[in-house]
Each structure stands twice: as C-alpha cells, then as structure tokens.
Amino acid sequence: MKKLLLALLGTSLFVVCSYGGVSVSPVITEMVIPLGATYTGQLAVTNTGDVPVVIEAYVRGFTAPRGTPLILEPSQDDYPYSGRELLTVTPAHQEVGPNEMVYFDYTIHMPEELDPYGGRYVAVVFKIKPAASEAQVVTTARVASLFLLVPTPDGKVRPHFSIRGMEISQDPDDPRKVTIRSVIANDGNLHINAGQVCAMIHVLDEDGYIIDEIPLRTHTMLPDTEYTHVEHWLASDDLPSGVYQFHLSAIIFGAVGEEPQHFFYLTQAQLEF
C-alpha cells in the first residue's frame, strides 16, 4: 500500500517540497512494506527556474520533534527509528535545465528484523546549486522528499499518545487570558497522523460542570518525540475567581479492526479574576 499525505506535517511541508525554483514530487510517501520486502519507485524533480542547476541526491534519516522535519546528518543520527540504511537513490547527481523535469530512482529494502521494531523515517535530500557560476561564493539550497515506512501492521507496531503534565497560567495584564501548556509525547513505535487524533480540553468549575471546551489541533508525531502544545482560553466576564478543572481527553483512531486508544489527563488551577 502506498499513499501520499499531502497535509501530513502542516505548513512545514511547503518548506520541504520546494525551494529556490526547484520542486519535488511526491512530497511525502507513507508506505507499508512487509519485513524482507523490496520496493522501487521514482521521484520527480522539476527546475522551475530560468537557469540550469545541478541536483545532488543523497539519503538521510529524519525526525520531527515539534512537527517540523529535521534532517539528520550521519554523525548526528542517533534516532532509533531512522531509516537511512533502508533506502538508496540513483543517480547521485543530474544537471537540470530550465523548466525541465528529471527522475531519480529509489529502492527501499525492509530488513527481516528491526531493532527497535516499528516505523522507519527517511528522506531523500536534493542539494541544488547553479550549473555554472563565476562567483566566489555559490549559494546552495536543499529540498527533500520524506518517507514514512511501516512494517507489516500487527499488534506490535502502534503509536502511543502520552500526556506528560499540564501547566495553567494567566496573563498578568489580563488575567482572563489563560494559557494552557501540555507536554504531549508519542512513546509508541509508529507515527501518529494528525488526522487520526480527536482531542479536546474541557474546562470545568469546581463542582464538575463543563463551562467551556477547547479543541486541540495536534500535528503528526513521529515515535520517540514530544513537544509542548499551547492553547489559549479566554474566560468569560461572568466567571468568578476560584478553582477550575482542565480535563484533556484524546482519542487516536486506527485502521479497521484496531481499537481506538483513549487518553485522559486532569489538572486544576486557582484562577484569580
């Protein structure tokens, strides 16, 4: 199975897929590959500029600690779910004329065993520079196509949502502006797509009555990553000072046959208005 997730990592995708008059397609590929299987495909790179460029292709692992892809250089790549050893790309470089499209071939081989078991995350990075330049300093740019590789789905490969605390604070100049910070982690072994998550913060009074609700718009999370999610709540003028409860609930939906995962976190805060 192979599908494109065109909105997978939010607005950061547009930084990854095009830059400096060069675009890459597909931007992101999510693929299920059984253990021991091999898959081949192509990436299209288009020079949308008006001068020839040389494009160098190479493979790197990546992570996304705050939803933004972070390409990992080999000397820094200690991410346990990096897939840089699983993918090769050819040719190593091509010259591309103005408005010309070229193709790079890639091969993915999923090994018989994975340690740790779970998803693998790898990028084909394209380094772009002018084909010819007399300048002493030559500017280069990089774009990337991201791969999210999933071994044969089973009960051992799943994301896992973890809520690691919640902090409530008030704006010193306007105490009815309340900031809610939650540390959210994926401590499973597979990425969580933003479209799989339904999350909400319910604000309750001290008697347990719901007085407001705040939808959470999370981003896609790779395994073994966490980030601080920030939401803002404007308390209505009729609410008095007192103890308020903040209840965060999240559901992660899976494929057909998989039970949804439910997560809850509750804290309370004394608010002075």
What is the band of 13 on the pLDDT scale with cuts at 50, 70, 90?
very low
Query: For the residues 160-182, what does the mean pLDDT come to?
Result: 94
* CB neighbourhood size of 8 (10 A): 23
Per-residue pLDDT reduced to its tens digit, 126-138:
999 887 655 444 4
Cα gap 151→114, rounded to integer Å: 9
Cα gap 1→32, rounded to integer Å: 6
Question: In the predicted model, what is the mean pLDDT of the chain?
Answer: 88
| DSSP conformation class of 99 | T
Per-residue pLDDT reduced to its tens digit, 82-101:
999 999 999 999 999 999 99
- Cα atoms found within 13 Å of the Cα of residue 186, Cβ hemisphere only: 27
pLDDT of 212 > 50? The answer is: yes
Letter for the amino acid at 20?
G
> Are 9 and 27 contacting, i.e. CB atoms less than 8 angstroms apart?
no
Q: Please state whether the predicted TM-score (pTM) of the whole model is above 0.95.
A: no
Identify the three-state secondary structure at position 78.
coil
CATH class of 2-150: mainly beta
Nearest by Cα to 264 from 183, 163, 193, 184: 163
Cα gap 164→180, rounded to integer Å: 13
pLDDT of 223 > 80? The answer is: yes
Look at the domain 161-271 and name its fold: Immunoglobulin-like (2.60.40)
Query: For the residues 194-213, what does the mean pLDDT come to?
Result: 95
What is the band of 256 on the pLDDT scale with cuts at 50, 70, 90?
confident
pLDDT of 194 > 70? The answer is: yes
Domain ranges of the chain: 2-150, 161-271
What is residue 100's predicted lDDT score, i.e. its pLDDT? 95
pLDDT of 144 > 70? The answer is: yes
Of 66 and 102, more confident: 102
What is residue 5's predicted lDDT score, i.e. its pLDDT? 35
What is residue 8's predicted lDDT score, i.e. its pLDDT? 35
pLDDT of 180 > 50? The answer is: yes
Domains 2-150 and 161-271 share a fold: yes
What is the band of 152 on the pLDDT scale with cuts at 50, 70, 90?
confident
Cα gap 81→17, rounded to integer Å: 22
Identify the three-state secondary structure at position 186.
strand
Query: For the residues 255-267, what does the mean pLDDT come to?
Result: 89
